[in-house]
Amino acid sequence: MNTVKQGERLQKILSAYGVVSRRKAEALIVEGRVCINGSPATLGQSARVGVDEITVDGVLLTDLKEHVYIMLNKPRGYLTTVSDERDRRTVMELVASVGCRVYPIGRLDMYSEGLLLFTNDGDFANAVMHPSFEKPKTYIVKARGDLRKALKLLKEPIQIDEYTVQALNVELTQNNNDNGLFQISISEGRNRQIRKMCNACGLTVKSLKRISIGSLELGSLKSGQWRFLTKDEVLALG
């Protein structure tokens, strides 16, 4: 049985640990993202830190205290930046409920969507994004043009700006005349790289969505929503 007679309210505990504010903690509990000893918590429930196992998105509370690692399903229309001098919408608005200062790892341009990581751990951010660590990133691209011809070209080295890049893998998933879908994986992550590669091969990108980084997949996370990474996910990426 989860409920304990002595202890502190979950909202107060989560706030004290810097996970989220008390108000945001209530939302996490209602959404079923907070568990005590393996069972979903309920509003008003109390727990004892150090006695009860408290988890948020499967991550132990004690593991959330120093470093924070989250994933967001970024919608279109948001800038991947901490602030914008023109007061445009940024991804920071979507992760404001995390409860501590985090920053995005890498970028997705304003019109791209999908998996975006945030942390306050600089070493982890470097391990995820630096090309020498070879973390493949996979995208679903909806494009217009001669896809069969373009996909052959995408598998070859391509010069964009002053760099030579090459896809790790390209796979056609749907082709309807001059419109279709394909998946592409890259190990770099240069500014608007996928779009520039497609343009160089005669394609016009209509939508772009990142679905995985390394072994981490976007899964069923809804657009605009975020969650904490599990310890295993952090270890696999770092």
CA 59 to chain centre: 16
**The domain 69-131+216-237 is classified under which CATH number: 3.30.70.580, 3.40.1080.10, 1.10.150.120, 3.40.630.10?**
3.30.70.580
**pLDDT for the residue 64:** 66
pLDDT in tens, 41-97: 999 899 988 889 998 888 888 766 678 899 999 999 999 988 888 889 999 999 988
Query: CATH fold of 136-213, please?
Result: Pseudouridine synthase (3.30.2350)
**pLDDT for the residue 59:** 81
**pLDDT for the residue 3:** 39
Interatomic CA distance for residues 192 and 106, integer angstroms: 11
**pLDDT for the residue 141:** 97
Q: Does the 8-64 domain belong in CATH 3.10.290.10?
A: yes
Residues of the chain with pLDDT under 50: 1-5
**pLDDT for the residue 65:** 62
**pLDDT for the residue 71:** 97
Active-site residue identified among 63, 109, 121, 146: 109
C-alpha to C-alpha distances, 226 to 69, 142, 204, nearest whole angstrom: 10, 24, 30
For residue 52, indicate whether it is catalytic. Answer: no
Burial readout 24-58 (b: 16 or more C-beta within 10 A, e: otherwise): bbbebbeeebbbbeeeebeeebbbeeeebebbbbe
- Which part of the chain is CATH 3.10.290.10? 8-64
Interatomic CA distance for residues 231 and 31, integer angstroms: 21
**pLDDT for the residue 22:** 75
**pLDDT for the residue 83:** 83
